[in-house]
Amino acid sequence: MSTWIKPTDAGTEINVHIQPGASKSEIAGMHGDAIKIRIKARPVEGAANAALIDFIATSLGVTRNAVKILRGEKSRQKTVWVAVQANEVERRLMGKIG
């Protein structure tokens, strides 16, 4: 299991490093012990956080309600919870690294 993923009883916590204001939303590889995600939205009035939730939900094939930012709402370093098992999170997200 990767260091950026932590299984929990009800899902998985993911360490994320975001880069807001990118040309497109995509997974950009690893950044230390976090998965780096470029987000097209700017960090204004929560737009980048909302776009991150949408991106992760779409990437994992779940609803927006199955994704929550636990820590780091005003930081590039975030901990995100998803209602998906850890091995499935790793398989789906790592499969999107181009």
Taking only the tens of pLDDT, the chain with its 98 residues reads 678 999 998 999 999 999 999 999 999 999 999 999 999 999 999 999 999 999 999 999 999 999 999 999 999 999 999 999 999 999 998 877 65
Q: Would you state the torsion angle of the CA atoms of residues 82, 57, 49, 40, taken in this order, to the nearest 10 degrees?
A: 140
End-to-end Cα spacing for the chain: 20
Nearest by Cα to 96 from 13, 14, 25: 25
The answer to whether the CB of 77 falls within 8 A of the CB of 34 is: yes
Specify the pTM.
0.94
CATH class of 5-94: alpha beta
Helix runs in 1-98, H state only: 47-60, 86-94
Identify the pLDDT of residue 94: 84
pLDDT at 1: 63
